[in-house]
Amino acid sequence: MTLQDVLDTMEEKMMKTLDVVHSEFAAVRTGKASTALVENIQVEAYGTHVRLREVAGIATPEPRLIVIQPWDPTVAPAVAKAIQTSALGITPVVDGKIIRIPIPELDQERRRELDRVVKKLAEDGRVAIRNERRHGIEAAKKLQKDGQITEDELKHAEKEIQNKTDEYIKEIDTVLAHKEKEILGVA
């Protein structure tokens, strides 16, 4: 393994961490309808658990309404049950073959609670990024110890690893600030 391989692997893992943070943030309810709120809910259908987006079309025709139309109408009760039992705390309305989910306005207490949730998600993301930094530095030090790179190359690699770490943590902080504005109703 070369130093460039170490750096590329580390950055790839940091990118995946950032993607996870983005998707977790998208699933946090902000009082506005979003397909991301429900698309990954696990539905028991056809004898197995599948994501909601794999068994139904999901749309947001209005800012405070999600409409789900299962491709197979017999799955509608299972979809409604999965939404009801999810951590979203919203009640679906089954209307024949269509399921409507009205998104209620968030009260101030719920907004603060969601703010704490996204701060924790962001901190988990930062910790994961820092762990990748630690793994990258350890791998670079091992290369230096094995004689594959010089001490100067190691110092340069450590600087580059720290710069990438700072870049990804800054991106998480930016996404967090945007999500907090959205949750607290400032946006």
Q: Taking the chain (187 residues) in consecutive chunks of 10 residues, what is each chunk's mean pLDDT?
A: 91 94 79 77 86 89 88 87 80 87 80 86 95 95 92 94 96 93 73
3-class secondary-structure state, position 72: coil
CATH of the domain at 72: 3.30.1360.40
Q: Which domain holds residue 160?
A: 3-26+107-183
Regarding whether 119 and 98 lie in a shared domain, the answer is: no
Which pLDDT belongs to residue 187? 45
Q: Is 53 exposed, middle or buried (0-12, 13-18, 19+ CB in 10 A)?
A: middle
Q: Which helix H or strand E contains 92, and what residues bound it?
A: none
Regarding whether 60 and 43 lie in a shared domain, the answer is: yes
Regarding whether 135 and 89 lie in a shared domain, the answer is: no
Which pLDDT belongs to residue 112? 85
d(CA 93, CA 95): 6
Which pLDDT belongs to residue 186? 59
d(CA 142, CA 35): 45
The H-assigned helical ranges of the chain are: 3-26, 76-85, 108-145, 151-183
Regarding whether 82 and 45 lie in a shared domain, the answer is: yes
Domain count for the chain, please give it. Answer: 2
